Amino acid sequence: MLGHSHALSGFAVGAASLPWAPVDGTVAQVAWVSAVGGLAMLPDLDQQGSTISRMWGPLTDVPSGLVNTIARGHRWGTHDAVLAPLAFGLLAHAASWNRWSSLVVLALAIGLALRALHVVIPGRAENTVIGNLVLSVGGAWLLLAHSPAPAWLPWAVAVGVLTHIAGDWLTREGVPVPVLWLVRRSRLAPVHLRTGATVEKTVLVPLFVVATLAFLYLNTGAQQLVDPLLARLG
């Protein structure tokens, strides 16, 4: 799937999972949805030249090459539905012990969301290394300054990674058979949807947008703002 499709599906899943998310308060809810949406692109860190590897220049491109080596290539280790959420989740768990490392993870999520959604954001600041870095770190700092320590980060990472894997499972390239691919490389690809196909752009993307808005309305305090407006219009 395309980068913005992964992010939009992550936003939809993040909003849908709010009733079970270990967060409390509007700010924490925004942080959760933003993190799941952005981190739904995290598995593609295994591919140099991808959106995530280019985002912060050498700060993301160098780790991308290392991840590619550890994961044994693109769409293998980081796309394993068992190993990937476990590995990334454990790293996020370690990061959540410290406020600054938590800020880095959350900034990464925000930066990825901004890069993926550049198609609907005016301007190009989010596509530059410095611009994206400033916006991402600033946004993460604001969220952390107005909410408790994000002990929920590992869960947001795991949910985002699983959302990404589910999306790539629908494509013809597929995803690896969990764990067993380490012994014998094999993939799961039941649908064979072509990445960037018309159905993705005209059906899935609008569906993800509508689902995100609907779940935000149902699972947050947005109802208290929207319902009076609808009543007036009615």
C-alpha span between 61 and 171 (Å, rounded): 25
Two tokens, residue 66: 């290392």
The yes-or-no verdict on residue 150 having pLDDT over 90 is no
Average pLDDT, the chain: 87
Cα separation values, 209 from 29, 47, 48, Å:
17, 26, 28
Q: Which is it for the CA torsion 144, 150, 154, 155, positive or negative?
A: negative
Encode 164-180: b = buried (16+ Cβ within 10 Å), e = exposed: bbbbbbbbeebbbbeee
CB atoms within 10 A of CB 18: 18
pLDDT at 203: 87
pLDDT at 207: 93
- What are the pLDDT digits (tens) for 74-114? 899 999 999 999 999 999 999 888 888 889 998 998 898 88
- Confidence tier at 129 by pLDDT (50, 70, 90): confident
The yes-or-no verdict on residue 123 having pLDDT over 80 is no
Q: For 54-58, 86-90, 154-158, 198-202, which range has the lowest pLDDT when averaged over its residues?
A: 198-202
- What are the pLDDT digits (tens) for 43-53? 999 988 887 88
